[in-house]
Amino acid sequence: QVQLVESGGGLVQAGGSLRLSCAASGRTLTNYPMGWFRQVPGKEREFVAAISRSGVNTYYANSTKGRFTISRDNAKESVFLQMNSLQPEDTAVYYCAARSSYLTPYRSSSYDYWGQGTQVTVSS
């Protein structure tokens, strides 16, 4: 079992940046490929980015590629999402998740553990 806690959300103007953090406790984060998802009310949870256990491989949604960067520091049991050039359509609750299987990183159903989420609001 692993517990995940996100932080770093907030209110930012369009074009600004935020850096989200996800701290893990319980089992070591090294065991898990990780992902970031986001969700707005009334819509399904949407894939944002994912990273392999070692951090060598990263995956992005088309909407975030080139603007967002996922990274991890296994020694600090943490995963990060650097978000640049934010737009109002990026407004959502952002969740980090841990995946214990080798299923596709793009689907929320592949992930076993979730944080409580952190709100990101981008004003125009």
Query: Rounded to an integer, what distance in angstroms lies between the CA atom of residue 124 and that of residue 109?
Result: 32
Q: Cα-flanking dihedrals φ and ψ of residue 29, to 5°?
A: -65, -20
Which tokens go with 122? 């981008």
Query: Rounded to an integer, what distance in angstroms lies between the CA atom of residue 110 and that of residue 113?
Result: 10
Amino acid at 63: S
Mean pLDDT of the chain: 95
pLDDT in tens, 40-60: 999 999 999 999 999 999 999
pLDDT in tens, 61-87: 999 999 999 999 999 999 999 999 999
Contact (Cβ atoms closer than 8 angstroms) between residue 98 and residue 24:
yes
Please give the angle made by the CA atoms of 16, 60 and 30, to the nearest 5 degrees: 100
